[in-house]
Structures are given as C-alpha cells and as structure tokens.
C-alpha cells in the first residue's frame, strides 16, 4: 500500500515452497500488524477481521484530508480496509477488501473465492462479483461476466455450474453479461462502477 511505504509483510524465498505460498507473508521488521474486529479488538488466530498496522513506515495522513486521515489512522493504527487472518505460524492471508465483502444471510462471502470459481468456467473470460440488496437475505451475489468469443453461456447455466461446485450461499443468484469489465489505469476492476451500474 502507498500508505505503508509500501510494505507491511513479506514472503521469504523459502516460504514459497510450502503451504504459506498463498499468504502475504509475515510482518516486516519495524511494523506491527494486527487483525481486529469492529471494536479494534484482536481476533483469534484463524479468524478474519480488518488488517491494521503501525510503524515508522506508516503515513502521517492524507494531504489536506484531515477527516479521512483521522478515520483511517484512528487509535494510532492504520486501518487498511483489507480483511485478512493470521495462521498459527504467523503468516497473514488477505481475504478481501472490507467494502467488497458480501453478507448473504449474515454469512461472510469473500469475493475472490467466488470470482475464482466463476472464472474457472471455460466460457468465462473475466468476472467480478458484487453484492446487491435482497429483501429476504439482506444481500445476494451478482456476477458481472464477460464471455469468451462465440460463447452463448446463459445466466441459468452459469448459476447451476457454480451451485454444483460451491456452497450455495456463496453462489451468484444473478448474472449480468458485459463486453468487458471497467478498469482503472492500473488494470484493476472498478467495483465502484459495477455497483453503480448493476448493484441495484
């Protein structure tokens, strides 16, 4: 993160050959990293929460944005907006952006897991998932999908394909097909744009 100049964790060379290869590594020297609940209390190892950090590498604040700086740096800790968890060996795993996490029926669903499953369908070129309001469940999952050339994959087919492979509450309940996903200058999908266009 730019705000952390730019590292909080590192995955050492030898750690690339074991189970920890999917992690973000361990905190760097001089940086304190915690995973906390909504009250900024540490969660147990293996449980998810927001990743916060402090250290000499953390920014002093955003330029001429004191209100946002105060919110992000509350309590002397940089609140990253990322959801993660530590394992028993001290490796940090990034699960999702806090604002992107979806909660159908009160269950936490991390969008990268759903996107990976949808993207595994041979007719899917790219995908992003967002939460949409639902009267019964509070929120449900919508997949925004760009199909591969020549594909006529339908919404029903894709939903059924996911339901055969994932826990049902993690599966999309609706699909929107697009030519391509909106991206920013770095190539990152703009989920804010997706929510504005198809999040209702």
Domain with CATH 3.30.300.30 in the chain: 104-198
pLDDT digits (tens, 9 = 90+) for 100-144: 999 999 999 999 999 999 999 999 999 999 999 999 999 999 999
**Residue 179 has what pLDDT?**
96
Per DSSP, what are the bridge partners of residue 116? Answer: none
**Residue 45 has what pLDDT?**
98
Cα 60–chain centre separation? 25
**Residue 155 has what pLDDT?**
98
**Residue 199 has what pLDDT?**
93
pLDDT digits (tens, 9 = 90+) for 47-74: 999 999 999 999 999 999 999 999 999 9
Mean pLDDT to the nearest integer, 85-102 = 97
Q: Which runs of consecutive H residues, i.e. helices, occur in 26-150?
A: 66-72, 111-119
CA distance readout (Å), 96 to 70, 113, 153 = 23, 9, 27
What CATH number should be reported for the domain whose range is 104-198? 3.30.300.30
Domain with CATH 2.30.38.10 in the chain: 2-97
CA distance readout (Å), 144 to 3, 14, 123, 165, 169 = 30, 38, 13, 19, 17
**Residue 200 has what pLDDT?**
85
Of the candidate CATH numbers 3.30.420.480, 1.10.357.10, 3.90.1640.30, 2.30.38.10, the domain formed by 2-97 belongs to: 2.30.38.10
Tell me if 91 sits within 8 A of 25, measured CB to CB.
Answer: yes
CA distance readout (Å), 66 to 51, 55, 149 = 21, 20, 48
């Amino acid at each position: 993160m730019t705000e952390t100049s730019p590292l909080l964790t590192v995955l050492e060379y030898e750690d690339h050959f074991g189970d920890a290869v999917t992690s973000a590594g361990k905190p760097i020297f001089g940086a304190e990293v915690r995973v906390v609940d909504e009250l900024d209390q540490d969660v147990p190892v293996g449980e998810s929460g927001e990743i916060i950090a402090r250290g000499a590498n953390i920014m002093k604040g955003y330029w001429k944005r004191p209100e946002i700086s105060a919110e992000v740096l509350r309590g002397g800790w940089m609140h990253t907006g990322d959801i993660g968890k530590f394992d028993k060996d001290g490796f940090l795993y990034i699960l999702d952006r806090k604002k992107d996490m979806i909660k159908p029926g009160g269950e936490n669903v991390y969008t990268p897991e759903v996107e990976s499953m949808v993207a595994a369908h041979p007719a899917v070129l790219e995908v992003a998932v967002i939460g949409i309001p639902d009267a019964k469940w509070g929120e449900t999952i919508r997949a925004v999908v760009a199909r591969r050339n020549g594909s006529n994959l339908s919404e029903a087919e894709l939903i059924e394909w996911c339901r055969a492979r994932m826990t049902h509450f993690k599966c999309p309940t609706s699909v929107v097909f697009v030519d391509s996903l909106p991206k920013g200058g770095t190539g990152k999908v703009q989920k804010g744009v997706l929510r504005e266009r198809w999040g209702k």
